[in-house]
A and B are shown apart, each in its own frame.
Chain A
Amino acid sequence: SQQGEEDPQALSIQEGENATMNCSYKTSINNLQWYRQNSGRGLVHLILIRSNEREKHSGRLRVTLDTSKKSSSLLITASRAADTASYFCATDPTGAGSYQLTFGKGTKLSVIP
């Protein structure tokens, strides 16, 4: 089942601007992951944040996690046209024990050159 909800569903920005996407979830988690999907392709893992972490950086990516609000945000700084893709959050629920991930509905990001 899909428990994650990303917002916005679609985001269009100019190259060089920052893009912020949010994700909310419903159950307790071990970790939350962000994936990227280019049109018609598979998913690429971007970054993972554990439930005991609040912020994590990787290059131009910054992820925050607020377990009290059951929400996460992905910030892409200095966006590039090549960042155009759909971005999904995925949660690893506590106690699932089956290595399953639950994906959100995704945010479609368009970066205009």
Chain B
Amino acid sequence: GAVVSQHPSRVICKSGTSVKIECRSLDFQATTMFWYRQFPKQSLMLMATSNEGSKATYEQGVEKDKFLINHASLTLSTLTVTSAHPEDSSFYICSAYGPGLAAYNEQFFGPGTRLTVL
């Protein structure tokens, strides 16, 4: 149980286009989802926390107009990278938390999306 999927797994786009990444909890209801960004050989950087039905909370330095997050249902959150540029190329990972899944704050991670902006 507690499976999180991401789609697409890999995307290549031209500079200036927008890209949407989906994160789905397949077998549980995720009240909270997290979006991370990971540069090569580095750790995960939390971008934002989204709670179902409310606006996402962005970390300092993350542009909310650039990275649009929507958590419209208990099983789906989307991250849209608007007007993507080469510096947005990165590995984006989502994770989900659902009440009652684990006794403590264990997050379940998606497999990640590799974004390459040309």
A interface residues (Cβ-Cβ under 8 A, vs B)? 1-2, 30-31, 33, 35, 40-45, 48, 50, 88, 92, 98-106, 108
Contact = CB atoms under 8 A, between A and B. Distances in A.
Interface in B53-101: 57, 59, 91, 93, 95, 97
Given A43-B109, A48-B106, A88 B114 contact: no
A35 B105 CA distance: 13
Q: Give the secondary structure class of B's interface.
A: strand
B89 to A, nearest CB: 14
Nearest to A45: B106
What band does the interface of chain B fall in when counting residues whose beta carbon is under 8 Å from A?
Answer: 20 to 34
Contacts of B93: 42-43
Interface in B36-50: 41-46, 49
Nearest to B97: A99
Given A40-B112, A50-B104, A92-B104, A2 B45 contact: yes
A101 B59 CA distance: 13
Given A40-B112, A42-B110, A100 B104 contact: no
Interface of B: 4, 6, 32, 34, 41-46, 49, 57, 59, 91, 93, 95, 97, 102, 104-112, 114
A75 to B, nearest CB: 21
The listed residue with most B CB atoms (<10 A of its CB), out of A30, A88, A106, is A106
A106 B110 contact: no
A96 to B, nearest CB: 9
A104 B111 contact: no
Given A43-B93, A104-B43, A108-B41, A33 B106 contact: yes
Contacts of A40: 91, 112, 114
B104 A31 contact: yes
B104 A43 contact: no
Contacts of B57: 98
B107 A101 contact: yes
Nearest to A105: B43
A41 B43 contact: no
A104 B61 CA distance: 19
B108 A45 contact: yes
